Structure 1
């Protein structure tokens, strides 16, 4: 072990195997090892002396989580989780065993899929055709173009685009929620009308993504949809994000 501590990737049920040939973070990549305590196992490696969010390390971290989740439930740690030593890891596992085991049961057989809804930027013709206020302001600019009139027109277009994306996002949320075990609202993203993650059965993830794509195609003049996943279930670990059951959405 190094003096930099122990890098923690994930927590698994006891007895889970580590994926063979998987390299951890650092240069050279650190070897993975299990730290076991009771009914839980933490997947760790030596922490690099200088840990930075390099692309290679970010990808390595996520790849490990995805490979681990192929074989069973995984409680993922965010990039950069470092403990002082293995003893402190064992102490954390022992102190939170009941909570961690409950979370692992919730995540068993599931993946996270994140959806972000942005205003459709190539839909000016549709906005003009459907928004009376935008049409009125555009005609005013044509009759008497000036700086203030153009500003008002630009603001009206931006407002309409954001509102239309938000309305489409709500429809999409209503459509997809019954297909998910749980839903979690993500942090605000600049320019994003909706940022939501879904906890979806792994076996249903392709159908879920297909439904989202079909909706996006049918509403392309209102919303640009970005779909990410399957992902590690970060948003459905209590300490990592606000959880919401499907029934509570």
Structure 2
């Protein structure tokens, strides 16, 4: 259904509606991503139902200017999601080699029963968690600084925790996608012993449609 510069992709709601599951959610995203491959899309939350055609026309009219501006902003751009996480064994090995207190506590607790070394194990866990947090912040910023020139916008999806270094959404111009992929391939090769990179996309710009993104 179209109104001036804006169109809505819809289908009739089933007469009997059960609780939608994972299959339906994946189908919803597949449709959005297929549409995004042909042009800009403002995602609508999975499971959204309107009472009828008139309600949809009214909604498009009410939001027309915002939707049109958002679609113009997203034209020629799609989203990629990047997650970076540490290879745990490599990072822990590096901490033992570079931090004497971590090495000493690890050695002291290695052969002791858990009950007999509880305090030392707690201290070791605190030191490791703190050191990983500091390192992750620095590594995440280095990745963001490296990729920033290749993307239109960046948005953090979640905070770093544990061995996760970075979870970021990137809005990327279609013309720069190849350059971004090449750069990530290089980064993955350079850091493969310590860092794992996982890229998902291209997809609809779920994280960059502002207040109009109902997905």
Aligned to 1:26: none
1:218 matched to 2:190 = yes
Distance 1:133 1:102, change over 3 A: farther
C-alpha contact 2:136 2:160 (8 A) present in aligned 1: no
| 1:112 lines up with 2:79 in the alignment | yes
Going from structure 1 to structure 2, the CA distance change for 1:183 and 1:142 (only over 3 Å counts) comes to closer
178, 182, 203: which one aligns with 1:206:
178
Tell me, in whole angstroms, the C-alpha distance in 2 between the residues paired with 1:53 and 1:214: 40
Task: Tell whether 2:167 aligns with 1:167.
Answer: no
* Equivalent pairs, count: 207
3-state SS of paired residue (1:43): coil
Q: 2:10 corresponds to which residue?
A: 44
Partner of residue 169 from structure 2, selected from 184, 191, 197? 197
> Which structure shows the bigger proportion of residues in helix conformation?
2
Task: Work out the CA distance in 2 between the residues paired with 1:204 and 1:94.
Answer: 34
Q: Structure 2-normalised TM-score?
A: 0.83
Question: Structure 2 unaligned runs (5+)?
Answer: none
Question: 2 CA distance for matches of 1:224 and 1:189?
Answer: 14
Which residue matches 2:102? 134
Q: CA deviation at 1:237?
A: 0.5
2:150 corresponds to? 179
**Which residue, out of 42, 62, 69, partners 2:36?**
69
Instruction: Identify unmatched segments of 5+ residues in structure 1.
Output: 1-34, 242-249
Instruction: Say which SS state the counterpart of residue 118 (structure 1) adopts.
Output: strand
Q: 1:127 to 1:214 in 2, by over 3 A?
A: farther
Higher strand share: 1
Whole-angstrom CA distance in 1 between matches of 2:18 and 2:5: 30
Q: Aligned-pair distance for 1:51?
A: 4.9
Q: Does 1:153 align with 2:124?
A: yes
What do residues 78-119 of structure 1 show as CA deviations (whole Å, max 9, x unaligned)?
322222222111111111111111111111111101122334
Partner in structure 2 of residue 21 of structure 1: none
- Evaluate the alpha carbon distance shift between residue 102 and residue 71 of structure 1 in structure 2; reply closer, same or farther with a 3 A threshold: same
How far off its partner does 1:200 sit?
Answer: 0.3
For 1:54, the equivalent position in structure 2 comes to 21
- Pairing 1:84–2:51 present: yes
By relative contact order (CA 8 Å, sep 6+), the higher-ranking structure is: 2
Taking the aligned partners of 1:162 and 1:216, their CA distance within structure 2 comes to 21
Q: In structure 2, what is the Cα distance between the partners aligned to 1:174 and 1:189?
A: 16
Q: Deviations over 1:43-95 (max 9, x none)?
A: 00112332534232122112211221222222222322222222111111111
Q: How many Å apart are 1:173 and its aligned residue?
A: 0.4
